[in-house]
Amino acid sequence: MNTTSADLIVIGGGIAGLVTANRAAQLGLKATVLEQGSAEKYLCNTRYTGGTFHLCLREITLDPELLHKLILETTDGFVKDDLARLMAHGGAKLIQWLQGEGIKFMRASASEYHKWVLAPPGRSRPGLDWEGRGGDVLLRTLESQLVKRGGTLVRGAKAQSLVSENGKCVGVVAHHDGAAREWRARAVVVADGGFQCNPEMMEKYVSKQPSRMKQRNGGTAFGDGMRMAQTLGAAIAGIDRFYGHVLSRDALTNDMLWPYPYLDSLVTAGIVVDQDGKRYTDEGRGGVSVANAVAGLDDPLSSTCVFDQTIWEGPGRNGLIAANPHLLKEKATLYEASDLDTLATQAGLNAANLKSTIATYNAALSANAGTTTVTPADGIPRLSKKYKAMPIVKAPYYAVPMVSGITYTMGGIVINTHAQALRKDGSVIEGLYAAGAATGGLEGGPQIGYVGGLAKSGITGLAAAEHIAQRV
């Protein structure tokens, strides 16, 4: 077997991998990135990204103490205190470092959340639009920087296994140019993303029917790094949660309906019902939470979002690529009726149940105006702290069949603040690190707290590289 040596081997050429490799090379290490894609512009989630750097949907360079508290609150304490501090204190550092690499940012809207968005931005239109845009430019820029520093990005190299000696990870075996090849190194960083494209793992951890979800991603993350790390005893955490959005069900067959527009603004203002016309989840927890709830149903294609004219013309127009009017422009299924009986018939819902659901929902909102949590007679709470619950009273009424769109899985390899992989007993697996969506314990948890994929990838990548440079 051919063997090649380097100071550092990184598995995966997305933002996590290229940030890690560049920072390590910047600190004097010889870094090699193994990327399974063989194309010049190999596909991955970073290539498709909308490019917003944030922490818990807040500006990433805010006061670290504020961000630290926010991360703990958003994940209901699922993220450990030291990791929350790593993220909170790493945001401003990451932005500054990326700028030093030649990455450009812009403000995409007046929202605080959109202060740091990769430039040039994607066009404000539905469907995929990535070539020459922020994520594509970021990857090409970071690859160029790596080459200038003497590093290497090897395309078409699919990692197969980790090499371990005396309990320490010392390399990777990958399939490349038709044969197995070994890369030896002082450290290995797993940065190949989540496992959202692995049907077996998805069925085991996330959804009973993953085929009835929409892959809202680059289609290249199969959980190989997590699997390999587990063979060396790595612990995993939070693997039953994912980041994604609810989409029109037609996104399964119409590529102009993913990754945008998504339905979050309609879902968080209106209600989500099953085929019996009954609510089953708290819409006020946000679109990511609802996407997880939809995926967890026996049939992930059995959900419908129901709302009225006020919601359609109000929250429905929120966002850079809003549901209204883009659902109509792209010919998504949108039922409209002057009464709820007709709407239920069109959408295939139980009319009596739907009317009862809406009546009790409206009554609860009216009786508890101004409170942060309402519990209608159906027993399903509705938070209004972040997203205002709106009654469904003004005709015409609308219904959109939904599908859960998955972008990346939130869980993975448990790490410490140096991004070192840990065993179940908390001990360090020497020589093995993880960064980005391959990690677990940085977001998710029981409340499905979304912290931020790009931020997580960059911050853990810098942490891994700097610790490896200190050790090597």
From the number of C-beta atoms within 10 Å of its C-beta (0-12, 13-18, 19+), residue 65 rates as exposed
319, pLDDT greater than 80: yes
Q: Two tokens at 173?
A: 């075996």
Q: Output the DSSP codes for 107-167.
A: --SSSGGGSSEESSPPPSSSS---TTSHHHHHHHHHHHHHHHTT-EEEET-EEEEEEEETT
**What pTM was estimated for this model as a whole?**
0.96
How much is the average pLDDT of 205-228? 98
Q: Do the beta carbons of residue 25 and residue 202 sit within 8 Å? A: no
Q: Which of 299-303, 367-371, 399-403 has the lowest mean pLDDT?
A: 367-371
CA distance 12 to 201: 19
Nearest to 454 by CA among 34, 21, 46, 41: 46
User: 328 falls in which pLDDT band (50, 70, 90)?
Assistant: very high
Question: In the prediction, which pLDDT does 436 show?
Answer: 98
Q: Provide CATH code, domain 2-240+410-471.
A: 3.50.50.60
34, pLDDT greater than 80: yes
425, pLDDT greater than 80: yes
Backbone angles phi, psi at 17, to 5 degrees: -65, -45
Nearest to 422 by CA among 238, 229, 240: 229
- Which of helix, strand or coil describes residue 23? helix
User: 2 falls in which pLDDT band (50, 70, 90)?
Assistant: confident
Residue whose tokens read 């070994």: 182
Q: Do the beta carbons of residue 349 and residue 406 sit within 8 Å? A: no
Q: Give 244-406's CATH code, choosing from 3.40.50.2300, 3.90.700.10, 3.40.50.300, 3.90.1300.10.
A: 3.90.700.10
Q: Two tokens at 305?
A: 């979002």
Asked if omega into 261 is within 30° of 0 (cis), the reply is: yes
Nearest to 438 by CA among 140, 6, 97, 15: 15
Backbone angles phi, psi at 215, to 5 degrees: -75, 100
Cβ neighbour number for residue 177 with a 10 Å cutoff = 9
Cα 343 from chain centroid (whole Å) = 33
Question: In the prediction, which pLDDT does 458 show?
Answer: 98
Domain ranges of the chain: 2-240+410-471, 244-406
Question: In the prediction, which pLDDT does 3 show?
Answer: 87
User: 373 falls in which pLDDT band (50, 70, 90)?
Assistant: confident
1, pLDDT greater than 80: no
Q: How far is CA 449 from CA 56, 64, 286, 327, 407, in A?
A: 8, 18, 10, 28, 15
How much is the average pLDDT of 447-461? 97
Q: Give the N- to C-terminal CA distance of the chain in Å, as an integer.
A: 26
